[in-house]
């Protein structure tokens, strides 16, 4: 029996997609082989790869002057690859710090260039600095931020205006959750294991003028130009993850595209926050205008009940609710593939748990 899986990533995948993958696992397109067992250079796989790119371009309305790269190394590799591809050792690069993942990106960039922290959410990471608080450098090689902090459950309600400085975004936990205007960004990257598909891929969407400046010491497999020139097939890509991402993109298109999906996500998040706010037992401390649509964090006023909450939730078919080890408490990750029914089941459980333990 399938449970409702609130894990932060790898995360729930659409049931329809899993069923399709299961049905064609052993004999893909009458080839007598699994899609995992064929050459990435075969005509059939090249079709999978290009369709996935075309569908992603369609979903996000990616302008023609952007390349879509299917890479490896996860979002963590991009923490290094962004400075290696976009900046020199002398460059200043701006970073906005809103939590765990921006902090990690800052630490890594500091190994390659001069980091200027252009905005900081403070120690408890429960808010997003408004545009008026950002102290951006006019001559930065790029400005980096994390639109959605997966651990803190903090999300930007706006896209920073960095003027002529290319804006770089780690969209690992928010890509495809609602429509965005790609033309505002120089580079978007996202690990696949939340809204894209299984782990193993990282998608980078890069504006053409930012490609071709990698430092000479950049490994060729991580040079955006080499990857773009080779249609992300410089070496063997994670073919199964790519195929699965393609199925997810088609599922999103069938669901009505990102406007429809975004509206569903807004309703899911608002319903859950409203239930948390209405209760005496649970609380969310994130500023209201910075509450994440994808990762809803909450703590119990009686932390001694945490373990019981998790055990009883699991028994009720609600999994993956434990907060990150650095922040504690609870976190319900409600990515695209989490249906409203899952959120409603969680709320019903939370109410009953509160009634029992009040």
Ligand X SMILES: Cc1ncc(COP(=O)(O)O)c(C=O)c1O
Our CB check for ligand X shows the closer of 275 and 286 to be 286
Residue of 173, 177, 239, 336 interacting with ligand X (CB under 6 A): 173
Whether the Cβ atoms of residue 173 and residue 193 lie closer than 8 Å to each other: no
Please, which residue, 195 or 279, has the CB nearer to ligand X? Answer: 195
d(CA 227, CA 234): 6
Q: Which is nearer to ligand X, 97 or 172 (CB)?
A: 172
Q: How far is the CB of 149 from ligand X (least distance, A)?
A: 6
Site size toward ligand X (CB under 6 A) is 11
Stretch 176-215: interaction string toward ligand X, x if CB under 6 A:
---------------x------------------------
Known active-site residue 101:
yes
Verify binding: residue 146, ligand X, rule CB under 6 A.
yes
Question: Whose CA is closest to 206, among 248, 166, 245?
Answer: 166
Task: Pick between residue 76 and residue 271 the one whose CB is nearest to ligand X.
Answer: 76
- Which three-class secondary structure string do you get for 187-224? EEEEECCCCCCCCCCEEEEEEHHHCCCCCCCCCHHHCH
* Min dist. Cβ of residue 237 to ligand X (A): 15
Sheet containing 282-283: give its strands across: 282-283, 295-300, 330-333
Interface residue with ligand X among 38, 48, 62, 75 (CB under 6 A) is 75
CA distance 318 to 5: 6
Q: Is 242 a catalytic residue?
A: no
HSE (CB half, 13 Å, CA atoms) of 275?
21
Kindly state whether residue 74 participates in binding ligand X, applying the rule CB under 6 A: yes
Minimum gap (Å) between residue 101 Cβ and ligand X: 4
- Per CB under 6 A, contacts with ligand X among 81-140 are 101
Binding mask 8-27 for ligand X (x = CB under 6 A): -x------------------
Catalytic pick from 67, 194, 268, 322? Answer: 194
* Cβ-proximal residue to ligand X, closest one: 74
Q: Which of 94, 170, 242, 268 is catalytic?
A: 170
Instruction: Answer yes or no whether residue 333 interacts with ligand X by CB under 6 A.
Output: no
Q: Given the complex with ligand X, which of 152 and 262 has the nearer CB atom?
A: 152
Contact 119, 164 (CB under 8 A): no
Antiparallel, parallel or unpaired: β 318-319 and 282-283: unpaired
Tell me if 37 sits within 8 A of 158, measured CB to CB. Answer: no
Question: DSSP string covering 253-298, please?
Answer: HHTTHHHHHHHHHHHHHHHHHHHHHH-SSEE--S-GGGB-SSEEEE
Q: How far is CA 36 from CA 22, 39, 56, 231, 242, in A?
A: 12, 8, 21, 19, 10
Nearest distance, CB of residue 212 and ligand X, angstroms: 25
Residue 297 binds to ligand X (criterion: CB under 6 A): no
| 194 has catalytic annotation | yes
Tokens coding 17: 């997609």
> In sequence order, what are the residues at sequence separation of 6 or more whose Cβ sits closer than 8 angstroms to the Cβ of residue 30?
none
Residue 95 beta carbon to ligand X: minimum distance, rounded to whole angstroms:
13
Q: Judged by CB, which is closer to ligand X: 63, or 219? A: 219
Give least dist CB 344 to ligand X, A: 25
Hey, how many other C-beta atoms are within 10 angstroms of the C-beta on 345? 17
Interface residue with ligand X among 150, 232, 239, 279 (CB under 6 A) is: 150
Q: Of 57, 280, 291, 10, which Cα lies nearest the Cα of 153? A: 291
Binding test (CB under 6 A) with ligand X, winner from 126, 172, 177, 333: 172
Cα gap 286→189, rounded to integer Å: 25
Q: Would you state the structure tokens that stand for residue 333, as one six-digit string?
A: 């990750």
> Could you give the residue numbers annotated as active site?
101, 170, 194
Q: Which residues bind ligand X (CB under 6 A)?
A: 9, 74-76, 101, 146, 150, 170, 172-173, 191
């Amino acid at each position: 029996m399938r449970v409702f899986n609130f894990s932060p990533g790898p995360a729930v995948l659409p049931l329809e997609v899993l069923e399709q993958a299961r049905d064609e696992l052993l004999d893909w397109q009458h080839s007598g082989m699994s899609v995992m067992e064929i050459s990435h250079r075969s005509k059939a796989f090249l079709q999978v790869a290009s369709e996935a790119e075309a569908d992603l371009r369609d979903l996000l309305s990616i302008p023609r002057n952007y390349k879509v790269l299917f890479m490896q190394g996860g979002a963590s590799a991009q923490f290094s690859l962004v400075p290696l591809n976009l900046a020199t050792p002398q460059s200043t690069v701006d970073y906005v710090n809103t939590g765990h993942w921006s902090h990690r990106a800052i630490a890594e960039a500091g190994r390659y260039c001069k980091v200027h922290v252009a905005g900081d959410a403070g120690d408890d990471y429960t808010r997003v600095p408004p545009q008026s608080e950002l102290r951006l450098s006019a001559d930065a090689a790029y400005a980096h931020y994390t639109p959605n902090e997966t651990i803190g459950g903090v999300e930007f309600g706006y896209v920073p205006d960095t003027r002529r400085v290319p804006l770089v975004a780690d969209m690992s936990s928010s890509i495809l959750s609602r429509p965005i205007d790609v033309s505002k960004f120089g580079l978007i990257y996202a690990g696949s294991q939340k809204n894209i598909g299984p782990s193993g891929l990282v998608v980078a969407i890069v504006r053409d003028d930012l490609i071709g400046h990698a430092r000479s010491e950049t490994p060729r497999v991580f040079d955006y130009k080499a990857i773009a020139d080779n249609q992300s097939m410089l070496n063997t890509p994670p073919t199964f993850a790519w195929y699965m991402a393609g199925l997810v993109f088609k599922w999103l298109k069938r669901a009505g595209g990102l406007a429809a999906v975004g509206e569903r996500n807004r309703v899911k998040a608002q319903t859950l926050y409203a239930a948390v706010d209405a209760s005496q037992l649970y609380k969310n401390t994130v500023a209201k205008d910075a509450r994440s649509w994808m990762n809803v964090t909450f703590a119990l006023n009686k932390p001694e009940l945490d373990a019981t909450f998790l055990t009883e939730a699991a028994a009720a078919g609600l999994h993956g609710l434990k907060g990150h080890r650095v922040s504690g408490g609870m976190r319900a990750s409600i990515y695209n593939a989490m249906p409203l029914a899952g959120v409603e089941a969680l709320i019903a459980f939370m109410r009953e748990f509160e009634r029992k333990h009040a």
